[in-house]
Structure 1
Amino acid sequence: MSEIHAVEIAFLLLLCFVVIFGIFARKLSTPYPIVMVLGGLALSFVPGIPHIELNPDLVFLIFLPPLLYSSAWNTSWRDFKANLVTILLLAFGLVVFTVAGVGLLAPFVFPGFDWRLGMLLGAVVAPTDAIAASAIARRIGLPERIVDILEGESLINDATGLLALEFARQIIVQERIPTVSEGLLKLLWLTVGGILVGLAIGWVIEQIERRLEDATIEITLSILAPYVIYLAAEELHASGVLAVVTAGLYLSVKSATFLSPATRLKLWSVWESLTFILNGVVFVLIGLQFPQIRGSIHEYGLGKIILDGALFSLILIALRLAWVLPGSHLAFWFNTRVLNRRLPPPRPREVFVVGWTGMRGVISLAGALALPIVLMDGSPFPYRNAIVLLTFCVIFVTLVLQGLTLPPLVRWLGLSGTDGPNCEELEARRIVAGAALTHLTGARERDNIRNEDLYDDLIDHYQNHLASLDLDNQEATKKHVDYTELSLETLRIERDTAIGLRNEGRINDAVLRRIERELDLSESRLTAYGSED
């Protein structure tokens, strides 16, 4: 019973820390992954704070599936496909380049390391963190294409990085170098098998969803889905990461046809909160691991830790930049010459930003902590604690220091907010509103004289809405702003009146909640477009 009580206390403390650091992140206008890691690191030095160990199995089986699924669900399949060549060059090519580069350089930088330990270290830190990259990139207003590339890369390179880690660990533990054919076959099955499992289970979930009309059950199924997909793929020795990502992309595209509006609203709210909680807990846990990691390296002084961590981080940043700069031109050549696509040539400043945003996160730390303590002959795993320590240093440098320097770098390069108004969205809104207006006009003619006032009112509403979407029509835009403000004011009056009726005892709380829901939906509709702009 005492163990259960200790787990409860630890979990509640983590949630409290997530809330507190989330508030700080909002107040400081800083991406929350950075604040969470720094907060966890600061807490680790507070006397009396219980030590909470980051279990690798907990990361891979509890945190990873829903976070990958959520990221994939929020990824645009069209944009993912458009940037696929660049994403694959980063997710596959850069991982191999990082593993090989660290394998060659580590023996010259870290005494006692050979090429095998270097490759293992490179495989551990090869995957980038999807949440950190997208949270930071979107916060500072990077162009959508850069964000799409960073998110796509981090969704896929988890699988390739974990495969490289498996091979590198096999070389050390089993003292056997996998053959090229063995490696290619393993990679092929991990990739193809993971995609097939994701598509198959995704299709089954789609069929079930189409037959459900209960929002609560559908939301429960959506939370269960990534775990089922991940475990099924892993059981078949395919990539659970790629299976979850594939299913997330597939179901995201199909969801527009099988989710009801009410379910969609509830689903977004649930997943937004769940993703924040899971991410917050993970990043706080990363910071809390430092005392244990520091204590495992007794012979390392603080100065040597800082020096080695900084040097290794510089090596990784240099390797990424060395790959990204020529890789962008290779992707451009392949897209234009082989795929015959018309694309503008890569701009150096955008390429440099992609190279600078190689943040590492919990996957790297979990991979390092998952290394065995002893080899098959019973001898200690060589330099295991040093690998864990270097991994933590890389996470700290790439996530915190690079993350904090990214906003001024982006502003200096002139990339912040360069996209301007979302013309694609404006055009879509015009087309949607125009289609509704055309339907109303035709319906009024077919309906003869009946409900003429109703038609006139709706047509006038859509005509004003269409005019407000014309950025050149300042008068119509101003009228739309005034209309929105007046509507919000009347909604507040309705809400205050309903609350007053409840307080007077004239209606009960159930009636109030139904009225509030209608008012909340109306307010969300009015404020959504303005907040997106």
Structure 2
Amino acid sequence: MELGESFHAVEILILLLLVLVAFFAVMANRLKVPYPIVLVIAGLVISFFPRMPRIPLDPNIVFVIFLPPLLYASAWSASLREFKRNGVVIGLLAFGLVAFTVWGVAVFSDHFITALDWKAGFLLGAVVATTDAIAATSIAKSIGLPRRIVDILEGESLLNDATGLLALEMGLGIILRGESPTVASGALRLLTLVVGGVVIGLLIGIVVGWLEKFIDDGPIELVVSLVVPYAAYIAGERAHASGVLAVVVCGLYLSRQSVNFFSPSVRLQVNGAWEALTFMLNGLVFVLIGLQLPYVLGGIRGKFGTGTLIFYGAVFTFVLILLRMMWVFPAVKIAEFLSNKCMGHKEEPLKKTEVFVVGWTGMRGVLALAAAISVPEVLGNGRPPETRNLIVFLAFCVILVTLVLQGLTLPALIRRLGLAGSPGMDPEEKEARKIVLSAAIHQLEEGRKIEGKGAEHLYDDILHRYRHKLAAIGGGGDGELEAVDTEAIFRLRRIMDQALQAERRTLIGLRDKGRIGDDVLRTMERELDLAYSRYEGGSVA
């Protein structure tokens, strides 16, 4: 095939995948099912269509192309305050659970899967040990899980990639080179990964934050925001640290600082573009997972009986879920003790039902499949490739069950356990709105005193709307501002700007004092940006 024909085929293939993503995402919305589940099933079904182009999943594409921007977007939307509040339990899940899972899978494989020994089981455990940031965040948020559970799952999935990739590195060393890593060497390597990743991510974030002060152009800001996660990931990997942690730390830092260097119009442009980009990449990832079944079956077919494969897949997935449950309950208790007694935090303990949901929501995704596919065909000493193919097959089974079965049962489960999100405004957000609107009203009243009677009617008009909005929040209404029709539009814009600036300063102050999380700030900040863009464009609604 000539080069031009090859590019043409790739174009058609990408177009086909994007059309599939859009179509099945619409179906997911109609069915009220999280779109990752529908896309995985759709890819699975389509993979059996005759003459369907075969699309192998290159692990390098996942690690280098998909992973950095998706991790960056997840870190950008995370709340640093909640990350700190739940830091102990997140650490026990992101580090301790990965080690426990690798050990448990190694022991299970050695005793119950005849085709695998302890070494291959260790490698298999490393492949499936990490939860997927993409799957966990997109599914958990879409089904209305309680905010604290989402924060824990999000934090765990953002951090455990470093420990999982370290375990994969150790497992490959055991299989390929006959290495026998010690606890000390593993701890030292983990420390290098974590410290190096954090330092590199923070340095890149500081530099980019400084450069952002000189930029206020939407397209340029978008290009910069696209370059940053790749730069952080590559820098981390080149330094033999954790590129994943470098991206996460950089995203957390810049997200927190963005309130200072993004103008409202730029923030709207960049956020809108990133929402479209992350949806597209997420969609492609989940469709590609489903499309891998022919390759997985092709590698394993003929080596094991169908009944044996189904039995292995079902039992192994059950064991993996059980291992997570066994770790989560004591880990949460230990975390609560350390947080409340030793660190002085005053967090309400998680209910047993909430801990169960944390244990049940251990989604695996494309990262686990990419790790499995990255395992070499020959695992050392001429070991037969059946071992590698079985590892890929079992990883695929785990991904399919945790995404589809657990994902589909979660809505009913949280309703049954009484954990469904309550309708209406979050109490923290409601309180923040009251404080912010009161600050704007105070600013307007002071401005009316200074300007005197010449602008009194303008101030009275806007004050009326703000007071109405404040009263509506107290009564549970939306309190939308109505359009103002006046000839003194220039003066009105200036007055509105003062009020909105007072709201923004107060909002940032509440975030910086820890009274609200970054998620509440972003929700209200978007509304302020929209209000700013409306009156700048000629409306003062």
Residues 1:215 and 2:222 are matched in the alignment? no
In the alignment, which of 270, 274, 279 is matched to residue 276 of structure 1? 279
* Structure 2 contact 264–532 (Cα < 8 Å) conserved: no
How far off its partner does 1:344 sit?
2.2
How far off its partner does 1:137 sit?
1.6
User: Can you list the C-alpha shifts for 1:39-98, whole angstroms capped at 9, x where unaligned?
Assistant: 000000001110001000000000000000000000010111111101000000000000
Residue number in structure 2 paired with 1:411: 415
In the alignment, which of 344, 347, 350 is matched to residue 351 of structure 2? 347
Residue number in structure 1 paired with 2:32: 29
Structure 1 residues 281, 432: CA separation in 2 closer, same or farther (over 3 Å shift)? same
Question: 2-side partners of 1:243 and 1:523: how far apart?
Answer: 34
Q: Which moved more, 1:177-186 or 1:462-471?
A: 177-186
**Partner SS state of residue 453, structure 2:** coil
In the alignment, which of 82, 87, 92 is matched to residue 84 of structure 1? 87
**Partner SS state of residue 470, structure 1:** helix
User: Can you list the C-alpha shifts for 1:140-191, whole angstroms capped at 9, x where unaligned?
Assistant: 2111000000000000111110110110110010011123332121111100
Residues 1:440 and 2:444 are matched in the alignment? yes
Give the letter for the 1:255 counterpart: S
How far off its partner does 1:375 sit?
4.2
Residues 1:98 and 2:101 are matched in the alignment? yes
Question: 1-side partners of 2:267 and 2:102: how far apart?
Answer: 42
Residue number in structure 2 paired with 1:462: 466
Residue number in structure 1 paired with 2:377: 373
* Structure 2 contact 103–125 (Cα < 8 Å) conserved: yes
* Structure 1 contact 143–419 (Cα < 8 Å) conserved: no
In the alignment, which of 29, 36, 41 is matched to residue 38 of structure 1? 41
Residue number in structure 2 paired with 1:495: none
Residue number in structure 2 paired with 1:9: 12
Question: 1-side partners of 2:88 and 2:251: how far apart?
Answer: 20
* Structure 1 contact 358–398 (Cα < 8 Å) conserved: yes
Question: 1-side partners of 2:329 and 2:423: how far apart?
Answer: 22
* Structure 1 contact 85–331 (Cα < 8 Å) conserved: yes
Give the letter for the 1:358 counterpart: G
In the alignment, which of 259, 262, 282 is matched to residue 262 of structure 2? 259
Structure 1 residues 521, 437: CA separation in 2 closer, same or farther (over 3 Å shift)? closer
Question: 1-side partners of 2:232 and 2:205: how far apart?
Answer: 8
How far off its partner does 1:114 sit?
1.2
Structure 1 residues 313, 375: CA separation in 2 closer, same or farther (over 3 Å shift)? closer
Q: Which moved more, 1:389-398 or 1:454-463?
A: 454-463
Residue number in structure 1 paired with 2:183: 180
Residues 1:429 and 2:442 are matched in the alignment? no
Question: 1-side partners of 2:25 and 2:103: how far apart?
Answer: 38
Structure 1 residues 523, 259: CA separation in 2 closer, same or farther (over 3 Å shift)? closer
Mapping of residues 103-252 of structure 1, within 5 Å: 103-252=106-255
Structure 1 residues 349, 525: CA separation in 2 closer, same or farther (over 3 Å shift)? farther
* Structure 1 contact 77–249 (Cα < 8 Å) conserved: yes
Question: 2-side partners of 1:247 and 1:419: how far apart?
Answer: 34
* Structure 2 contact 441–466 (Cα < 8 Å) conserved: yes
Q: Structure 1: 5+ residue runs without aligned partners? A: 491-519, 527-533
Question: 2-side partners of 1:318 and 1:337: how far apart?
Answer: 29
Q: With the length of structure 2 as denominator, give the TM-score of the two structures.
A: 0.87
Give the letter for the 1:393 counterpart: C
How far off its partner does 1:522 sit?
6.0
Instruction: Please report the RMSD computed on the Cα atoms of aligned residues, expressed in angstroms.
Output: 2.0
Question: 2-side partners of 1:376 and 1:386: how far apart?
Answer: 16
Question: 1-side partners of 2:159 and 2:205: how far apart?
Answer: 18
Equivalences, count: 488
**Partner SS state of residue 48, structure 1:** coil
Q: With the length of structure 1 as denominator, give the TM-score of the two structures.
A: 0.88
How far off its partner does 1:300 sit?
2.6
Give the letter for the 1:464 counterpart: H
Identity of aligned residues (%): 52
* Structure 1 contact 106–118 (Cα < 8 Å) conserved: yes
How far off its partner does 1:378 sit?
5.4
Question: 1-side partners of 2:23 and 2:91: how far apart?
Answer: 38
* Structure 2 contact 131–362 (Cα < 8 Å) conserved: yes
